[in-house]
Amino acid sequence: MIVLEMKAIAQQYQQNAIDEAIKTVQFIRNKALRLWMDASQEDKIDKYALNKYCAVLAKEYIFAKELNSTARQASAERAWAAISRFYDNCKKKVKGKKGYPKFQKNNRSVEYKQSGWKLSDDKKKITFTDKKGIGTIKLKGTRDLNFYPIDQIKRVRLVRRADGYYVQFCINLDIREYRKPLEPTKHCTGIDVGLKYFYADSDGKTVEIPQFYRKAEKALNRLNRRKSKKFVRGQKHSSNYKKARKRYALKHLRVSRQRKGFAQEKALRVIQSNDLVAYEDRRPSLNLIQAGKRRCIPHLNVKAMVKNQRLAKSINDAAWSTFREWLEYFGVKYGKATVAVPPHNTSQNCSNCGEKVKKSLSTRTHICPHCGYVEDRDINAAINILKRGLSTVGHTESKAWGDLPSGLVGEILLGDGESVN
């Protein structure tokens, strides 16, 4: 599956109708979650029970009945996705918080399945046929929907962002059938991400971190101060506060898009210039599993690393996870091998002789006392990653087989509205 995104050119009354539909989605999700919370042990609350509950809400509330039935079901499925994730974490005995489902306060999207909408003949307009009053919306974008059959569009999603509204189309197809053939490069590389460089490869090449957030931090703080000055607790938000909040959100959106675009560009270049790309995995090391210690090495465990207050801002600005997800996506799209290897001791072992050379994080140069090999710490790690990758056949726990990056894998679009386009 892929997600194509186009800008929605909507009038003010249509924007108000979209906002009302988004509020209804949030209401249905929260009501479904409340039903699960209040249920006794004898009551069986599953995905199908929540879908049936949508019909009950439609009879009880007029504004819920105005929303398309498939959109109501998609809202209940969002609640069930949070519940099932909580159950999975409990079964796996995840340490710390298990992710108990919470009520949603700031929903930004409404999702339709294969009904409730209709594309025009030229596929440059979309009409929403439910009773929310959204009507016909013009679509603006570079992607041509005429290239895809209507029956392949499984979901349509309206997303609200700081700069307007967008329409996303979840299309069921194999991206490998639509790729442009690439000539084999007969070259392999290993990649080590870090905070000194965005990544260093086994050939000795390094890419600097652009630090989009760090560069925009001064302007963001200034806009945030202006927004805070116009906020009055206990009173209705003024128009000046809403304008200041929008300017602040637009700046954050720009930084987010810059970071994502940079990760896409670098991932595509790496895939196009190599036949095999090896990188570090977040899975438990095989040696630790054999020793009976099932825990993740915190080398690329981004969720755990951002808890470090001194490094959290730099780690988030580096966008390691986004870079990996696009590496895997482009690897599947262009038929290139992407291999995730265990990260244990990739920075400690010498890439020349294989001996272990202990070093702290502050030591940025690898100096082997056994063979005298001297190299940058990240490049030495990249060479070790490549060696492990060459000994691995095929993809190792790749998340790219769903053909969707950043949490958009599957038919329920649960991400933050990011798209392949």
Within-domain flag for 273: yes
> 35 and 167 in one domain?
yes
Residue 86: domain span: 2-174
Q: What is the DSSP string of 3-41?
A: EEEEEEE--HHHHHHHHHHHHHHHHHHHHHHHHHHH--S
Query: Among 174, 197, 216, where does a domain finish?
Result: 174
> 257 and 341 in one domain?
yes
> 285 and 157 in one domain?
no
Within-domain flag for 238: yes
Per DSSP, which regions of 195-285 are E strands?
Answer: 199-201, 206-207, 276-280
- CA separation, residue 30 to residues 24, 42, 302, 325 (Å): 10, 22, 30, 30
Does residue 378 or residue 284 have the better pLDDT?
A: 378
Three-class secondary structure of residue 117 per DSSP: strand
End-to-end CA distance of the chain: 13
> 384 and 344 in one domain?
yes
The total domain count for the chain is 2
Mean pLDDT: which of 10-19, 338-347, 412-421 is highest? 10-19
Within-domain flag for 416: no
Within-domain flag for 280: yes
> 211 and 138 in one domain?
no
List alpha helices for 39-68, DSSP H. 47-60, 62-66
> 199 and 166 in one domain?
no
> 64 and 107 in one domain?
yes
Q: Mean pLDDT score of the chain, rounded to an integer?
A: 84
> 147 and 276 in one domain?
no
Within-domain flag for 181: no
Residue in this structure with the two tokens 């969707």, named with its chain if needed = 404
Q: What is the pTM of this model?
A: 0.81
- CA separation, residue 142 to residues 158, 188, 237, 260 (Å): 18, 33, 37, 18
Query: Measured between alpha carbons, how far is 342 from 287 in angstroms, rounded to an integer?
Result: 10
351 closest CA partner among 318, 322, 376, 314: 376
Does residue 132 or residue 174 have the better pLDDT?
A: 132
Query: Among 150, 174, 198, where does a domain finish?
Result: 174
Residue in this structure with the two tokens 């969720």, named with its chain if needed = 303
Query: Measured between alpha carbons, how far is 72 from 54 in angstroms, rounded to an integer?
Result: 6
pLDDT score recorded for residue 308: 66
Q: What share of the chain is helix, strand, coil (3-state, %, to 5)?
A: 40, 15, 40
Mean pLDDT: which of 58-62, 278-282, 332-336, 381-385 is highest? 58-62
> 196 and 160 in one domain?
no
pLDDT score recorded for residue 94: 84
> 196 and 164 in one domain?
no
Mean per-residue pLDDT, 4-15: 94
Asked whether residue 222 carries a pLDDT value surpassing 90, the answer given is yes
Query: Among 139, 174, 209, where does a domain finish?
Result: 174
Within-domain flag for 25: yes
List, for residues 276-305, the tens digit of each pLDDT value.
Answer: 999 988 544 333 333 333 343 334 566 666
Cβ burial of 145 (10 Å; 0-12, 13-18, 19+) is buried
C-beta neighbour count of 120 within 10 angstroms: 13
pLDDT score recorded for residue 306: 66
Residue in this structure with the two tokens 């995104």, named with its chain if needed = 5
User: Residue 24 — pLDDT band, cuts 50, 70, 90?
Assistant: very high
List, for residues 188-208, the tens digit of each pLDDT value.
Answer: 999 988 888 899 998 889 999
Within-domain flag for 419: no
> 128 and 206 in one domain?
no
> 201 and 167 in one domain?
no
Asked whether residue 55 carries a pLDDT value surpassing 90, the answer given is yes
Mean per-residue pLDDT, 53-57: 94
Within-domain flag for 420: no
Amino acid type, 204: G
